[in-house]
Amino acid sequence: MFMCTTLVSQHRPIRTIQMGLILIAVTTENVIVQDMIVGTTHGLSVGSEMSGGVRNVTFQNIIMNGSGAGPRIKSERGRGGTVQDITYTNLTLYNVDTAVYITMNYHTNPQTNETGTPKFVNININNIYADKSSNSWYLDGLPESLINNTFFSNMNFTNTKNLIEKCDNIIGICDNSTVSPYCPSCIQAEPCVDMNNECSQYLTQCNNPKYRE
């Protein structure tokens, strides 16, 4: 099985990509994609072939104009695998079709066994500015496998034609005080769990993904 383990240098100059596809798939871990100006791509994509799992991937400091999406995570029934610890931060998006696109129904397939059912866990999207998107949100989990432990904050959508294209089967936290115009109401709140009888001191950590279950 192929495995990609990559660390992009923290000090490379800004690169310009006019056409093509930025894609993380197969079995991949420990990747940083950063410091780019991107034209017409499908998006900053994770998936959809991820049966071996994808983890610890960060996209940061990227400007996009005319792409299909900004953050784009996709899978489907039958692919299996776990996508976890994915971060998108400091993105500026102009004229994209869908600003945030996360789907486990990339192709509509019948329900399968646990091995073939994909899992999305620990997705952190923050510091996003999107102007003139056709859609702001497309969030589509599975009834048997919800998009789990998501965290959205510091996001600003302006001049959007349609704010929410789809939103189903997702659990997490969206900080309505820093997301404009507002968070999708379909995101199910995720409780902070602590079995300690004296747990009040930990309650302020509920908004930190590292402390949520």
pLDDT of amino acid 188: 87
How far apart CA 209 and CA 124 sit, in angstroms, is 8
pLDDT at residue 19 above 50?
Answer: no
pLDDT at residue 137 above 60?
Answer: yes
Identify the residue whose tokens are 């995101």.
187
pLDDT of amino acid 12: 40
- CB neighbours of residue 149 within 10 Å: 19
In order, the DSSP letters of 157-196 are EES-SEEEEEEESEEEEE-TTTEES---TTSEE-------
Please tell me what DSSP assigns to residue 13.
P
pLDDT digits (tens, 9 = 90+) for 25-38: 667 889 999 999 99
Question: What H or E segment, with its residue span, contains residue 74?
Answer: strand 71-74
Closest CA to 152 of 131, 168, 133, 171: 171
pLDDT digits (tens, 9 = 90+) for 168-182: 999 999 999 999 999
Q: 97-101, 112-116, 202-206: which has the highest mean pLDDT?
A: 97-101
Number of domains in the chain: 1
| pLDDT, mean of residues 9-21 | 42
Which structural domain range is residue 195 located in? 3-211
Structure tokens at 123: 């997705």
pLDDT digits (tens, 9 = 90+) for 141-165: 999 999 999 999 999 999 999 999 9
Considering only residues 121 and 115, tell me which one the structure prediction assigns the higher pLDDT.
Answer: 121
pLDDT of amino acid 108: 84
pLDDT of amino acid 18: 44
What confidence category does residue 166 fall into, taking pLDDT thresholds of 50, 70 and 90? very high
How far apart CA 102 and CA 14 sit, in angstroms, is 26
pLDDT digits (tens, 9 = 90+) for 198-211: 444 444 445 555 44
